[in-house]
Amino acid sequence: MVKLDGDKFEKCSIERKTVNYDDNSGRFAKEGDEYTKQYASLYVKRLEELASVLKVKLKVKWGSDVNLIPLSDLEEQEGRKCAIIGTLFKHQPNKPSILKELSEEHQMSMPAPLVDYCSDEDQLFLEDQTSRVRLTGDNVNVKMSVTGVVCAVLGAENSKSTFELIEQWVCGLAGNPEMQEEMASVVRVVIAGNSIKGCKDVHVSRGLVSGKKEDAAAALEMTTGTKRLDALLEYKSIKGVSNPWIGKVADKVIVGTSGQPIQDILKVCGLDTKQPLEWLEKTLEWRHMCPTAPDTIPCMPFYRNDPFILKECPHIYFVGNMDKFETKLYKGKDGQKVRLVCIPKFAHTKTVVLVDLDTLDTTPVSFGSNLD
């Protein structure tokens, strides 16, 4: 309503702008007979796809004559410098283990809960389908490494049969799609997990990503809804989507999760290492949304491919349920621009984040005055 002279009012309506929207999360759908498959196939497919990228990049980085060998041929090098491609494995005695839990179930007192899995006994290995070698040397940063990252390493085997690391190289960003003219209005809302208990009339199209506190719960369940969210999904403007989620809004590629991958990396590497935004940037450079799955994050045992690989460079890359709002415009070496966003927990901060699809500028918007 618009007030005119005196007490007269004139009714008016404002039409909300719309843009094209595509949900591209189909690759996270369950494959076959769910959890009866082994997880080895997921690691094999991850290594196969990202190794082909690294083979090209490492020749640019280290020269076309670099001595690239399979891990199984390392002993034949007799200490000569070489490059190997494989998947990192971080051995951590404090990491959750069902066998360890079973062996300790008869203890009279429970051990004190740990805030993370880190200890001085952590070790870093590189592995493929055939073998594994421990990475050592001054250039190895065990604490800042996570299981599941595919990388190339340059170095040589030493007398202790470990690989003395000279340099490590990861995949880097994927290529950007062609830029398109975008709308700059609020056209879509993404609820990044642990959503609000109640909901009244909804007028903006929303994508609802399952969070850790929903019934899809502890795992990256790749489902499009949960029992607790069924009532919300009755609204035509609300659509349950997978976690992680990939979509296109006005030809802008948007990728994100409800928080579990970054929260788990903080446990693996320690809460005192990097901020969540920095780890989000790392996963972008690793070209993988959640490298610690399935090691310390449960997920489906995918065997046809690894759906968590970032096949296309996103314009917006977000993580939900963080303690505070953080953002950065990441610029890649090939001209890619990615808006990184840590979305704060709404229940604690009463804050949402607006992203301008045209400029990728962000604006945090807070509701209410009693912010806990």
Round to whole Å and give the CA distance between 372 and 369. Answer: 9
Q: What average pLDDT score do residues 190-206 get?
A: 50
CA angle 77, 79, 84 (to 5 degrees): 60
Q: What average pLDDT score do residues 49-72 get?
A: 92
H-helix or E-strand spanning residue 150: strand 150-157
The Cα-based distances of 297 to 163, 263, 292, 316 in angstroms read: 28, 10, 6, 23
- pLDDT value at residue 204: 46
Percent of the chain with pLDDT over 90: 49
The residue among 180 and 366 whose pLDDT is bigger is 366
Amino acid, single-letter form, for residue 175: G
Which domains, ranges and CATH numbers included, belong to the chain? 44-105+116-155 (2.40.50.430), 163-198+208-366 (3.60.21.50)
190: which DSSP letter? Answer: E
The pLDDT confidence band at residue 33, using thresholds 50, 70 and 90, is low
- pLDDT value at residue 23: 84
Q: What average pLDDT score do residues 106-129 get?
A: 82
Q: Does residue 251 contact residue 24 with C-beta atoms inside 8 Å? A: no
**Secondary structure, 3-state, 84-132:** EEEEEEEECCCCCCHHHHHHCCCCCCCCCCCCCCCCCCCEEEEECCCCE
The pLDDT confidence band at residue 110, using thresholds 50, 70 and 90, is low
Lowest-pLDDT range of 109-113, 195-199, 308-312: 195-199
Short-list 371, 315, 355, CA closest to 363: 355
Residue 187, pLDDT above cutoff 50:
yes
The residue among 72 and 98 whose pLDDT is bigger is 72
- pLDDT value at residue 271: 85
Average pLDDT over the chain reads 80
The Cα-based distances of 368 to 346, 348, 349, 353, 372 in angstroms read: 12, 12, 10, 15, 11
Residue 104, pLDDT above cutoff 80:
no
Residue 38, pLDDT above cutoff 60:
yes
Residue recorded with tokens 């034949």: 76
Strands 362-366 and 351-355: antiparallel
Dihedral-angle region of residue 360 (phi above 0 means left; psi in -120 to 50 means alpha; beta otherwise): left
Top mean-pLDDT range of 28-37, 241-250, 323-332, 360-369 = 323-332
75: which DSSP letter? Answer: G
In DSSP terms, 152 is beta-bridged to 85, 169
Short-list 139, 141, 110, CA closest to 124: 141
Round to whole Å and give the CA distance between 280 and 270. Answer: 15
Give Cβ neighbours of residue 72 (< 8 Å, ≥ 6 apart). Answer: 128, 130, 131
The Cα-based distances of 330 to 71, 87, 310, 335 in angstroms read: 33, 25, 15, 10
- pLDDT value at residue 211: 53
Work out the angle between the directed axes of helices 260-269 and 276-286 (0-180°, nearest 10). Answer: 100
- pLDDT value at residue 331: 93
* Structure tokens given for 13: 């309506």
Give Cβ neighbours of residue 156 (< 8 Å, ≥ 6 apart). Answer: 77, 79, 80, 81, 82, 163, 164, 166
The residue among 2 and 44 whose pLDDT is bigger is 44
Q: What average pLDDT score do residues 308-334 get?
A: 94
